[in-house]
Structure 1
Amino acid sequence: MTEPFRLLFVCLGNICRSPAAEGVMRTLVEREGLAGRVTIRSAGTGGWHAGNLPDARMRSAAQNRGYNLQSRARQVTENDLHEHHLVLVMDEQNLREIRPYDRESQHAAKIRLFCEFCSDHDAAEVPDPYYGGEQGFEHVLDLLEDGCRGVIEHIRQQQGL
C-alpha cells in the first residue's frame, strides 16, 4: 500500500476556517471510503489560539451539518511543509504568511489557495468569519464543502484512486 496522502489546511488562527475544512474533509474522506489513505491536519499562521478548540460558533454551524470539529489549534511549522503533500491556505494573507516557512523555496508548488478547488463558487478566498455574524460561518461551510469535493478529486487523480 502506498503512503497516505497528507493534507494540511491553514488559516490565520486555526480556530474557524482551517479546523472546519479539516472536519468537512474528514467526513467526506470517510464517506468516500478513503479513510487511512488520506491524513488531514490543520494549522494557523499565528499561534495565539494554540491548544484551543475551534470557535464555538464554527463548531455549532458545523455540528448542524453533521461535522464534528474537535482538533486543537496549533501554529504551522516549517516541518509541516516538508511532511504534507498539499497545503491549502484560505486567503492571500495566509499565503504571504506561510511563504517564509519555505526557507529554501522548495514547496511553492504544493502551497495553494483552497478556492482553486471550488467548482460551484467563484470566490477567490475563504473569508474569515470571526468578526461577522452567523451567516459568515454558513458561507464558509458552503465554500469548504464545495472545495473539499474538488480536493478529493485531486487526491484521487494524484494517487490513482
Structure 2
Amino acid sequence: MSEKFTILTVCTGNICRSPLGEQLLALGLANVPEVHVESAGTQALVGKGMTEQSQAIASSLGVAHPETHASRQVTEDILDQANLIFAMSREHRRAIVELNPRVSPSASSLDWPREPQLPILQQSLLQVHSVEALTSQPLAA
C-alpha cells in the first residue's frame, strides 16, 4: 500500500465515468492531503482524454482542468496500491477482482450509468460524504 490513502475509480475505457469520479472525489477531498484519488479502465483507451460530456460535467461542478486526463489500463499493481476502489458497475468490480482477488474487500460498485448524468452522480457522491468513512482503515505511515 502507498503512504497516502488511495482511492481508485474504475470503468471500461477510463474516458467517461471513472475519470469523472476521480476528478469529483479529488475536488471534494482537496483539503485532505493524506487522500489521493486516481482512475483506470478495464479496457482502457490508453492515452485518450475524457469525453466532451464528462469534461463539461466536471467543469460545471468546479473541476479546473478536466482536459488534462489521460486514460490508463488498470493493472494488478495499480489495484495493489489502492486502499478503496469504486467500480462504476458490477461488471467492472468483477473484472478487477478477477485480475487481483486480494482487492475484493476494498472494492465496491457504484452502478453509475454508461452516460454520466448529473443527478445520479450527485446522489452517488453523497453516499461518499464522509472522509472518516473513506479512511476507516488506518492511513499508512
Range of TM-score over shorter length = 0.7 to 0.9
Residue identity matched to 2:113: P
1:107/1:39 Cα in 2 relative to 1: closer, same or farther (>3 Å)?
A: same
Alpha-carbon contact 2:5-2:135 (below 8 Å) kept: no
Partner of 1:153: 132
- How many residue pairs were aligned? 136
Alpha-carbon contact 2:9-2:22 (below 8 Å) kept: yes
Alpha-carbon contact 1:21-1:148 (below 8 Å) kept: no
Separation in 2, partners of 1:84, 1:4: 9
Partner of 2:36: 39
Please provide the CA RMSD for this pair: 2.0
Partner of 2:74: 76
Residue identity matched to 1:145: L
More relative contact order, 1 or 2 (CA 8 Å, 6+ apart): 2
Q: Which runs of 4+ in 1 moved over 6 A?
A: none
Separation in 2, partners of 1:6, 1:143: 22
Q: Percent identity?
A: 26
Partner of 1:15: 15
Which runs of 5 or more residues in structure 1 are unaligned? 115-124, 130-135
> How big is the shift at 1:156?
4.0
TM-score of the pair, normalised by structure 1: 0.75
Partner of 1:127: 113
Alpha-carbon contact 1:21-1:144 (below 8 Å) kept: no
Instruction: Report SS of the residue matched to 2:113.
Output: coil
TM-score of the pair, normalised by structure 2: 0.84
1:158/1:55 Cα in 2 relative to 1: closer, same or farther (>3 Å)?
A: same
From 39, 46, 50, the counterpart of 2:46? 50
Partner of 1:94: 92
Larger Rg: 1
1:55/1:144 Cα in 2 relative to 1: closer, same or farther (>3 Å)?
A: farther
Separation in 1, partners of 2:48, 2:120: 20
